[in-house]
Amino acid sequence: MNKKIILLGSGELGKEFVIAAQRIGQTVIAVDSYENAPAMQVAHGFEVINMLDGAALDSIVAKHQPDFIVPEIEAIRTERFYDYEKQGITVVPSAKAANFTMNRKAIRDLAAKELGLRTANYRYATSADELQKAVAEVGMPCVVKPLMSSSGKGQSTIKTDEDISKAWNYAVEGSRGDVVEVIVEAFVNFHSEITLLTVTQNNDLPTLFCAPIGHRQERGDYQESWQPARISDAALFEAQDMAEKVTEALGGAGLFGVEFFLTDEGVYFSELSPRPHDTGMVTLANTQNFNEFELHLRAILSLPIAEITQEKNGASAVLLATENSANPTFSGIENIAGLPKTDFRLFGKPTSRPYRRMGVILTNDSLETPIEEITERAKEAAKLVTIHS
């Protein structure tokens, strides 16, 4: 079982996936738009292409003849994936999953209309005028997001009529791809949000769930995540049921990060990644028998996963750059290295820019330790590290 894997996207999540694959002797070609990306540093080979360019994708697939194509990001010409599947290549978790989730419209209509999952009330708009109408229909406050974007790009909240044209222009600027269209969602007044890592398996083996991960978002990116999140049994069952339905509809085997909002009125499906989730980096704190990258790999390779066990409570806190630099360096690492039950990853990104995620702090403790305490330790440790240019 030496399989050849093309990894599309070579960031920190891809890097941990490659390390997991290396540990069991698989071959990985890491792809991204720039050289020396984190996952390339640990892969067998690499390619530098624009992954939104279908012809460039075709040429590396033809060159490497992989068994698997594993997307690590959304911004890929995913329409090509259906062809690769026809050629006998396994697209992870499936061409449909990757293609549907690169556009918010496809996944939202599947979840809300086809599967009947509870989501925020929503409309679409292709112009400032349509946005005005859509806002009138869903009501204020509401959240505007480009259909094609991630990490909060182009996303804003409308509270008054004056915000509408600003929100449209901001969304157009933050849009990727050829479509300029937005989704307008009613603002969900959630008390917390979770990621439910969900693993689908081949050969009729059951879908498995990791303990729910809580997280806090700022500027569209997560700042801290913790596992397990505090959630009632009823809400957890509701979330698991929705996650099972939506992952089944998308098909294939692999790990998905399914995002939910928890409110007093129940659980809302938000969106999902058909691949390891950034908030799931908390599993690198040895919270589980297998981390999210190992689970993704095992599911892909059809290696049966008997169970996912929670071994420890854990938290992660991100290390963000503050400046543009072609030679970023860290100071204060020795301050955190000596802390008990604390670990860290530095991603090896060759350059930095403000708010770019450069590393992560990982803390853990026993299953009896309050999760807030462990999260606070991760946050405090992150403050001891500085990233310089």
Binding residues (CB under 6 A) for ligand ATP: these are 120, 143, 145, 149-152, 155, 185, 187-188, 193, 217, 220-221, 259, 270-271
Considering the candidates 54, 118, 152, 376, report the single residue annotated as catalytic: 152
Catalytic site residue 32? no
Q: Given the complex with ligand ATP, which of 82 and 187 has the nearer CB atom?
A: 187
Considering the candidates 357, 365, 375, 377, report the single residue annotated as catalytic: 357
Catalytic site residue 53? no
Residue nearest to ligand ATP (CB): 150
154 annotated as a binding-site residue: yes
Catalytic site residue 259? yes
357 annotated as a binding-site residue: yes
Considering the candidates 163, 224, 259, 343, report the single residue annotated as catalytic: 259
Catalytic site residue 279? yes
Separation in Å, CA 189 to CA 48, 94, 132, 380: 42, 33, 22, 28
219 annotated as a binding-site residue: no
Separation in Å, CA 306 to CA 205, 253, 254, 290: 9, 15, 14, 11
Spatial distance between the Cα atoms of 50 and 53, rounded to a whole number of angstroms: 6
193 annotated as a binding-site residue: yes
356 annotated as a binding-site residue: yes
CB atoms within 10 A of CB 351: 15
Min. distance of Cβ 379 from ligand ATP in angstroms? 18
Evaluate whether 209 touches 240 at the Cβ level (below 8 Å): yes
* No. of helices (H) and no. of strands (E), the chain: 11, 20
Q: Given the complex with ligand ATP, which of 121 and 324 has the nearer CB atom?
A: 121
What angle, rounded to 10 degrees, do the helices at 128-138 and 163-173 form? 120
Min. distance of Cβ 102 from ligand ATP in angstroms? 11
Give the β-pairing of 68-71 and 90-91.
Answer: parallel
Catalytic site residue 58? no
Q: Which helix (H) or strand (E) holds 109?
A: helix 104-109
Considering the candidates 78, 150, 198, 316, report the single residue annotated as catalytic: 150
Question: Terminus-to-terminus CA distance in the chain, angstroms?
Answer: 44
The annotation places the binding site for ATP at: 104, 145, 150-155, 185-188, 193
